[in-house]
Structure 1
Amino acid sequence: MCIVFIYNGVNETESDYSLILISNRDEHFERPAQCMAPWNEDSNVYGGKDLEPGCEGGTWMAVSPTRGKLGLLLNLPGVKKESAKSRGRIVSDYMKSTMPLSDAGQFLYSKSFTPSTPTPKIKTYSNATDNIYQWPDTYLGFSNSLPDKPLKKVEAGKNYLTDICGRLNKIMDKSQLIDELTCLLKNKESHLPDDQLESRQPKLYKELSSIFVDIPQGKYGTRAHTIMLLSKSGHMDLIEISMQSPIDPEKPHWEKSAFQFDLIK
């Protein structure tokens, strides 16, 4: 399971940020992956890479500051399509092309990052409904369910994000903002009851009911946090905190990668 929370602050006059996005990637610890970095085949794209054989170097999330694109993919359990293609390259192909959002895949976020076009466009697409929906909300959260049927931990996380961004929306508070956003992503509080999660995962719903997932006996859980801050002046901070491979489930070692960009009109 994975989770993402978004703050769209473009219409918040007191806020210095036009966009804040934070995300957890939950995955099997033994699945090989590359940490966030500029891609060798396209240095304009920053993101992790799935190195599992057969996944063709796909990604779960990537950002292209120069192209003004951000793409993120979430799995929707239980949805099966005949002759379905692998989702491994949906985001990576989108990031490296001029592909419109309508062709891009299961869940993508896209906007023009430059200060001259500051209005974020946050859209979701699911192959379960084959519909694209644009979200005007200031605070958003998505996980492994249909966007209009959020898990309880998504609703809780949105409330946490509302509190944090309401207090820490000035550039001078950036260090504390990053610290509190990281704590949100590491939150292990269970959010139950959740009938949707319990019916889907009757054996593991308790372990999966928190924002930070930790199942060491199953060698599965949250193994990467991503934080992206975009100020209204056009400065972007892109941060990933991830488990260093090989992963010790009992005593994981976390490493941090950080990148900054000044986007020009």
Structure 2
Amino acid sequence: MCLLFLHVCDTPDVDGYRLILANNRDEYWDRETAQAHFWDPKEELISGLDKKPGKDKGTWLGMSKFGKIGALLNIPGTQEDKMGRGMLILEYLKGDLSTDDYITQKVQPIHKDIKTFNLILIDLRSKKTSANYYNNKTNTAMSLPNGVYSFDNSVMGKAWQKTIHGEDKFRKVVHDHGRKGDKDRLVQSIFDILYDTTRFPDDDNLMKQANECDIPDDIRLAWSAAFVWSPSIRHGTRTNTVILVDKFGECQYIERTLNIPVNPDNLHYSTNSYQFHI
């Protein structure tokens, strides 16, 4: 399961941020994955990459040096006969279509053929940020004006409790520390949110989804926390990403990743940080 928090403001203070994005990627520990890096020949596109055979060159989150950002969160369901989702982000980043045009021209025509997902597309190439949300479960698209948003593995409007809880904390962190002069505290506070182990066993929305997919209670309970921990199936939160873009286009892309092979009794992490101008 995955989690994403987003703050967009086109009129930040001189010391403020135009965009703050925080993301958890939850995945099976043994699924081969390349850590975030600039992987294209011109070194203009950054993301982690799925290396599972047959799924290689897909991603859950990525960004271009031109200011395009894409994020993908799966929506659980039994859909083995459907196409994978990972190519959606890379094709958006490599192309020149706007967020809205990419959804209407490239995604919606094939939405029934792809495993269910939430898609968040952002374009910072002009002074006015373009941000759009789409999910193919209900074939719903909407624009995202400046503000704070949260996304998980449910359709928008049916958020899990951990997401509502996390968004409240994210709002406060952005308000209290969303300045370049307080960047270290901002980043650490965001990581604290992403590593929150608080569980919500009575989450009605999550319980309904889990029942629809025949998810066992112990796994559902693990999903109810921001930091997912399911050692019985070797699954959980593997990667945390924070993206900061300031008023002048300076970007910092920070990824903290659980090293593999994973020993649940002795976890090790790697942190990589990239800075560039968009």
Compute the TM-score of the two structures, normalised by the length of structure 1: 0.90
- Which has the higher mean CA deviation after the structures are superposed, 211-220 or 25-34? 211-220
Aligned to 1:240: 255
State whether structure 2 residue 213 is matched by structure 1 residue 214.
no
Superposition pairs for residues 18-167 of structure 1, below 5 Å?
Answer: 18-41=18-41, 43-66=43-66, 68-78=67-77, 80=79, 84-99=82-97, 100-102=101-103, 103-105=105-107, 106-114=117-125, 117-136=126-145, 138-167=147-176
Aligned to 1:10: 10
**CA distances 1:89-140 after superposition (whole Å, capped 9, x unpaired):** 11112211224321454544333324xx233222111111212111225110
Q: Amino acid of the residue matched to residue 70 of structure 2?
A: G
3-state SS in 2 of match to 1:157: helix
3-state SS in 1 of match to 2:205: helix
Distance in 1 separating the partners of 2:68 and 2:106:
12
8 Å CA contact 1:118, 1:232 repeated in 2? no
**CA distances 1:4-36 after superposition (whole Å, capped 9, x unpaired):** 000112245586111100000000001000000
- Which has the higher mean CA deviation after the structures are superposed, 179-188 or 102-111? 102-111
Superposition pairs for residues 156-235 of structure 1, below 5 Å?
Answer: 156-199=165-208, 200=210, 201-203=215-217, 204-235=219-250
3-state SS in 1 of match to 2:123: coil
Distance in 2 separating the partners of 1:211 and 1:218:
18
Aligned to 1:252: 267
- Which has the higher mean CA deviation after the structures are superposed, 172-181 or 120-129? 120-129
Distance in 2 separating the partners of 1:121 and 1:109:
11
8 Å CA contact 1:36, 1:47 repeated in 2? yes
Distance in 2 separating the partners of 1:11 and 1:80:
42
**CA distances 1:207-239 after superposition (whole Å, capped 9, x unpaired):** 111111111222100000000001012110100
Distance in 2 separating the partners of 1:32 and 1:196:
31
- Which has the higher mean CA deviation after the structures are superposed, 119-128 or 97-106? 97-106
Distance in 2 separating the partners of 1:165 and 1:85:
37
| Deviation (angstroms), 1:171 | 1.0
Q: Amino acid of the residue matched to residue 26 of structure 2?
A: D
Q: Aligned-residue CA RMSD in angstroms? A: 2.0
Gapped regions of structure 1 (runs ≥ 5): none
More helix by share: 2
Distance in 2 separating the partners of 1:42 and 1:91:
18
Identity %: 27
Distance in 1 separating the partners of 2:106 and 2:250:
26
**CA distances 1:43-65 after superposition (whole Å, capped 9, x unpaired):** 21100000111113211111002
Q: Compared with structure 1, are the counterparts of its residues 39 and 163 closer, same or farther at alpha carbon in structure 2 (3 Å cutoff)? A: same
Gapped regions of structure 2 (runs ≥ 5): 108-116
Compute the TM-score of the two structures, normalised by the length of structure 2: 0.86
Distance in 1 separating the partners of 2:200 and 2:12:
29
